[in-house]
Amino acid sequence: MLRFALLLVVLLFIVVTNIISLPLSSPPSPSPPPPAPNRMDHYRFVQSWPPGYCFKKPCKKPAMITEQFIIHGLWPVNKAGRSLKGDPKAASVDIKDIQSDPALYNAMNKNWPSLNFDNFFFWSYEWKKHGSADPAFNNKPLPYFETTITVKNLQGGDLLTSLMNNKIKPGISTSKNKTRMPWNQALGYKEVLY
């Protein structure tokens, strides 16, 4: 009888322990997978104003300093607004491919000069770091360069003139909010200021 009572206590202990460890509600359904961090959502067309850029970081090519905004690059960006990383194994850029289209080559030299390096080196760097991240370019640099120049040509107007017409002049500090309207008018699209 003692053995039976002891067995009953052990069984009760096991049953009670299992009841306590049961969840009180149904298990949560698995959460949906997060969005793919490396999926392209849109482009960021990045421009620099040479005098401002060279004021912060001395430029090695002072002859390239113009009073016009120049292209820094076209960056594929994910939904969270982060630039995608290019493929370090992406196809190399061949300067002959760019030079074979004189209009493209001239437009790149005029609108996309490097302030510190050889232009070709800079374009190749932008392709590897940013352009190659977009599968739409099919690992071909030339369409990336053509698209970047096309975006520059689609820009609604001259950025510097638009800013100056709104009393935003070089050397005068102003808020980002004050620059938004003339910036949007000149570009024809919403800007992101850093």
Predicted local distance difference test score (pLDDT) of residue 36: 57
* Domain residue limits at 103: 42-154
Q: Into how many domains does the chain fold?
A: 2
Same domain, 93 and 185: no
Q: Are 45 and 130 in contact (CB under 8 A)?
A: no
CATH number at residue 61: 3.90.730.10
pLDDT digits (tens, 9 = 90+) for 126-182: 999 999 999 999 999 999 999 999 988 887 667 777 777 777 777 777 777 777 666
79 domain-assigned: yes
Tokens representing 8?
């009953």
d(CA 127, CA 73): 9
Same domain, 125 and 48: yes
Same domain, 103 and 122: yes
130 vs 16, 22, 63, CA distance in Å?
60, 51, 27
Same domain, 123 and 185: no
Instruction: Please give the model's pTM, rounded to 2 decimal places.
Output: 0.72
For residue 192, what pLDDT band results from cuts at 50, 70 and 90? low
Other residues' Cβ atoms within 10 Å of the Cβ of residue 93: 22
Same domain, 80 and 110: yes
Q: Residue 105 above 80 pLDDT?
A: yes
Same domain, 78 and 103: yes
**DSSP 8-state symbol, 71:** E
Same domain, 128 and 51: yes
Same domain, 69 and 148: yes
Average pLDDT value for residue range 10-32: 40
Same domain, 101 and 185: no
Percent of the chain's residues with pLDDT above 70: 71
Q: Are 91 and 128 in contact (CB under 8 A)?
A: no
pLDDT digits (tens, 9 = 90+) for 65-93: 777 889 999 999 999 989 999 988 899 99
d(CA 154, CA 148): 10
Same domain, 73 and 48: yes
Provide the residue count of the chain. 194
